[in-house]
Amino acid sequence: MALNYLNLSKNYSASRLNSKLNINKVWDVYLNPLKYQNKINEFLKNKVFSDAYFLILKNEGCIYQEKLNAASNERVYSRSSNEFKIEIVKSNKNEDVYYLIIKIINDIDLQLSNLYVICDNKSDCIKLPTLNDKQAQILIKKSDNFFTLITNPNAEIFIR
């Protein structure tokens, strides 16, 4: 049935839409986030696209954490949920380098490959290294867009 909807969506058009976005494009962005990394923020400006994209992310086998409700700082360096914990630790040797440490708490049957951060219709994604004992470590720079997004208390985090 899903394949039928995808095939129908190729031929769907509406006079109110100004772009060529369709459900196939949403699924392709979902399945290949690194391919669209330079275009995703432009796509998210389209409300229909962003609503469909967030719905797919939340419902399709992702680990999800909502925005933080009561953050006392404008930057957050630790987040936790029932399924994972993220810590962002500053390097002792380089002021611009941080370690992003992801710990998966529960046993998960999913093959986790990407970490998505979405905040105020801006998105970034990085590829996760192979988990070792349910833990991964990634180097990020303070000057990167990803660092700005992930430390924002209004960011939503998805691991897929």
Residue-wise pLDDT for 127-150, tens only, equals 888 888 889 999 999 999 999 999
Asked if residues 9 and 26 have their Cβ atoms less than 8 Å apart, the reply is no
User: Domain extents for the chain?
Assistant: 1-10+18-60, 64-160
Q: What is the pLDDT of residue 15?
A: 47
Question: Which carries the bigger pLDDT value, residue 90 or residue 8?
Answer: 90
Cα–Cα distance between 34 and 151 in angstroms, integer? 21
Which residue in 78, 87, 72, 53 sits closest to 158, CA to CA?
Answer: 53
